[in-house]
């Protein structure tokens, strides 16, 4: 028996968490690696509808000292197994809400990748399902599980920045042109009906599949939901705010001439009355902003605190005073940032404590991405009723807060 196998066997059976990995490509592969690194985890199933993408994940599981688990394509087999404690969901975005709601109803805890939902109504249904079935649901925005992120929040709320009125989030990086591709027959090895899930089914097209799925409105919510939601989450928490009272700005394609539908350029302002969050996105810059491609700043009248993955450094933050002097600097100690978040989820599954990014928090931060997209798609400012999570005075904008589904076993109830 290898040393790794001995570590995996060390935890008592009653203290182990038995999981099913749902979706193991892309972020799902990262999650496979993170959970396979946990000695108190049993990986009972790999669930994926595309049999051509699972081999790298299986190799990661074997490398961890485990046997290959069964491969299934229908999540209902995992949900029906009473020995499964939790579902770890690395599926495409359009399955996040349906999968989470089904798992909660089956009595499973859930780790669900970001963004948690395709639209605001789905996010609220996820929160309601977690409450109704008393489940632990962790959102896969990992940064709050890093101690340096908590230290950043503590600093931003300590009074050392002076009177804090505003935060700015930026997503400034060079994405690729995805070109234009025709529809084609469904490839071998893919259960396309299940992949489509509760959505009205479109013809198969590789430009809204796998790595390009987020750039198509039918399935995704653009890079504000894909990457921007991480920093929007941290900024919202730093300011201590929830949902805004109004949202304004712009978003459109200015650079790429391809099949992408979602904006490559955005400037969105979230107005909370006494505080503001601004979001800036340019997906055609190779040079980032403030020495990082994805980051944020919290502004006070005495100092500014910047958080990001600065060039050549780990995730961290730095503070400049009103004389432009660097007065404080802190950073992550190093290591895989998925590991602390996975660890937090597993500990909460056992203790029933609230995870670092519980689904309500994930819903609020993801809602900011959705509201920014509503402004981009309608081309106008909106007033948002946070209590009802609706846009009462604008029927067209309000319709974008939910979606239509086809009749399918995975269709969310309510």
323-345 confidence digits (pLDDT tens):
999 999 999 998 999 999 999 99
More confident residue, 102 or 13: 102
Cα 271 to Cα 227, 242, 363, 374, 382: the distances in Å are 21, 11, 18, 15, 10
Asked which of 277-281, 289-293, 326-330, 340-344 is least confident by mean pLDDT, the reply is 289-293
Contacts of 108 (CB under 8 A, 6+ apart): 79, 84, 85, 86, 87, 135
Confidence of residue 413 (pLDDT cuts 50, 70, 90): confident
pLDDT at 228 over 70: yes
Residue appearing with tokens 């490509």: 25
Whether residue 275 has pLDDT greater than 80: yes
**Domains contained in the chain, CATH given:** 3-143+341-355 (3.40.50.720), 144-180+192-338+365-399 (3.30.360.10)
- Compute CA distances 191 → 46, 49, 52, 201, whole Å: 15, 5, 11, 13
Contact 244, 270 (CB under 8 A): yes
Question: Encoding tokens for residue 80?
Answer: 């029906």
Q: Is the pLDDT score of 5 beyond 70?
A: no
Q: Exposed, middle or buried: residue 65 (CB in 10 Å: 0-12, 13-18, 19+)? A: middle
- Dihedral, CA of residue 18, residue 24, residue 26 and residue 29, to nearest 10: 50
Q: How far lies 138's CA from each of 45, 364, 405, in Å?
A: 20, 13, 25
- Three-state DSSP at 168 gives strand
Packing angle between helix 120-133 and helix 359-378, nearest 10 degrees?
170
Token pair listed for 377? 């798609």
Task: Report how far Cα 203 is from the mean position of its chain's Cα atoms.
Answer: 26
- Do residues 309 and 315 touch, judged by C-beta distance below 8 A? yes
User: What is the average pLDDT value for the chain, to the nearest integer?
Assistant: 95
Q: Are 225 and 245 in contact (CB under 8 A)?
A: no
pLDDT for 4 beyond 60: no
pLDDT digits (tens, 9 = 90+) for 358-411: 999 999 999 999 999 999 999 999 999 999 999 999 999 999 999 999 999 999
Q: For the segment 144-176, what is each residue's pLDDT rounded down to a tens digit?
A: 999 999 999 999 999 999 999 999 999 999 999
Residue ranges of alpha helices (H) inside 108-245 are 120-133, 147-156, 192-196, 222-226, 228-239
Tell me the angle at which helices 55-63 and 27-36 cross, rounded to the nearest 10 degrees.
Answer: 20
């Amino acid at each position: 028996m290898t040393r790794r196998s001995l570590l995996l066997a060390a935890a008592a059976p009653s203290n182990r968490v038995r999981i099913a990995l749902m979706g193991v490509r892309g972020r799902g592969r990262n999650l496979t690696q993170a959970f396979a690194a946990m000695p108190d985890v049993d990986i009972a199933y790999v669930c994926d509808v595309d049999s051509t993408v699972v081999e790298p994940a299986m190799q990661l599981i074997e490398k961890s000292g485990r046997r290959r688990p069964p491969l299934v394509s229908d999540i209902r087999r995992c949900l029906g197994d009473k020995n499964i404690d939790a579902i770890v969901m690395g599926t495409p975005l359009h399955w996040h809400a349906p999968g989470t709601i089904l798992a909660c109803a089956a009595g499973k805890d859930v780790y669900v990748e970001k963004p948690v939902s395709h639209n605001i109504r789905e996010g609220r249904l996820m929160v309601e399902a977690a409450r109704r079935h008393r489940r632990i649901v962790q959102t896969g925005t990992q940064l709050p599980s890093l101690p340096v992120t908590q230290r950043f929040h503590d600093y931003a709320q300590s009074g050392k920045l002076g009177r804090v009125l505003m935060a700015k989030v930026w997503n400034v990086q060079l994405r690729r042109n995805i070109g234009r591709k025709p529809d084609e027959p469904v490839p071998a090895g893919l259960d396309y009906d299940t992949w489509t899930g509760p959505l009205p089914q479109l013809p198969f097209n590789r430009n809204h599949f796998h790595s390009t799925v987020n750039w198509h409105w039918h399935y995704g919510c653009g890079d504000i939901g894909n990457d921007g939601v991480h920093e929007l989450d941290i900024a919202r928490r730093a300011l201590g705010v929830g949902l805004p009272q109004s949202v304004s700005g712009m978003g459109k394609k200015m650079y790429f001439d391809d099949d992408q539908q979602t904006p490559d350029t955005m400037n969105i302002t979230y107005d909370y009355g006494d505080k503001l969050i601004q979001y800036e996105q340019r997906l055609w810059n190779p040079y980032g902003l403030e020495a990082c491609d994805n980051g944020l700043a919290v502004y006070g009248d005495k100092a500014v605190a910047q958080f990001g993955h600065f060039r050549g450094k780990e995730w961290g933050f730095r503070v400049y005073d009103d004389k432009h002097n660097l007065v404080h600097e802190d950073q992550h100690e190093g290591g895989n940032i998925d590991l602390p978040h996975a660890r937090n989820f597993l500990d909460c599954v056992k203790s029933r404590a609230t995870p670092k990014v519980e689904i309500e928090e994930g819903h609020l931060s993801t809602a900011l991405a959705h509201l920014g997209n509503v402004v981009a798609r309608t081309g106008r400012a909106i007033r948002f009723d946070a209590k009802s999570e609706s846009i009462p005075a604008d029927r067209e904008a309000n319709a974008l807060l939910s979606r239509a589904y086809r009749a399918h076993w995975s269709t969310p109830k309510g």
